[in-house]
Amino acid sequence: MTASGGETPAGSGRLEADQILGIYDQWHDDLRRFLLATCGNAELAEELLQATFSRLVEVGQTARPESIRGWLFKVAHNELRLWRRRSATHARWLDSGPPGPTAAAVPWEEAIRGEEAAAVRRALATLPFEQRQVVEARIQRGQTFAAIAAELGLPLGTVLTRMRLALAKLRRSLGEKARDEQS
């Protein structure tokens, strides 16, 4: 089996270089965003991206070609978990919640194009204040839902509902663009 639908190299059983590069070209943006979103640290995301594609080189032939993106997400998530387990800063990371924007966050700005930023900013501006407050606290300042609920004096369920509604509205604003890119 091959992850990009071509022939598996005879003997080695691994993907060929052009297949790997093809997969990289097709999915590295999705994977970088996924890692940025899950780990919240641009430098770490780059390291994990590299580790993930190293795994593709090593064992990518075990993935089914029609679900290679999900396979990459899974590997990336495993790499993140491994890093958390190994990292000496894991305990501190758990205490403080996901790290927020840092000085090493330049690639974050590269993760979004100017027109996307403008669209997101417009969509954020249309959110009711209560919803925008939760989105900014969770995504932009990295607070946990529990911390936000405590700070606002609200039940956790209310905070989650506000977040869910806000993300649904934001998703509608970005959804068409994202679907276009994925198709």
Partner 1 sequence: MNNPDHHDSKHHTARAANPDLDWLAERFVLGELPLAEEEAVVASLSDDDDLAAAVARASLLVTAVRAVALRPPVASPEPAPRSKSRSKYGRWLAVPAVAAAAAWFIWLSPAMRPGTPPALPGSPEVAELWRESAETGWAAAESPAEDELHTEPDTAPDWMLAAVSLDAAGVGEPEVLEN
Instruction: Please select the residue that binds partner 1; options are 105, 147, 152, 154, rule is CB under 8 A.
Output: 105
- Site residues for partner 1, 117-136, by CB under 8 A, read 117-118, 120-121, 124, 135-136
Query: Is residue 75 at the binding interface for partner 1, with CB under 8 A as the rule?
Result: yes
Instruction: Please select the residue that binds partner 1; options are 83, 130, 133, 139, rule is CB under 8 A.
Output: 139
Query: Is residue 85 at the binding interface for partner 1, with CB under 8 A as the rule?
Result: no
Query: Is residue 143 at the binding interface for partner 1, with CB under 8 A as the rule?
Result: no
Query: Is residue 14 at the binding interface for partner 1, with CB under 8 A as the rule?
Result: yes
Query: Is residue 148 at the binding interface for partner 1, with CB under 8 A as the rule?
Result: no
d(CA 54, CA 129): 44
From 114, 113, 129, select the one nearest 162 (Cα to Cα): 129
Instruction: Please select the residue that binds partner 1; options are 38, 83, 96, 154, rule is CB under 8 A.
Output: 38
d(CA 89, CA 40): 14
Contacts of 158 (CB under 8 A, 6+ apart): 149
**Cα dihedral angle (98, 131, 77, 30), rounded to 10 degrees?**
-120
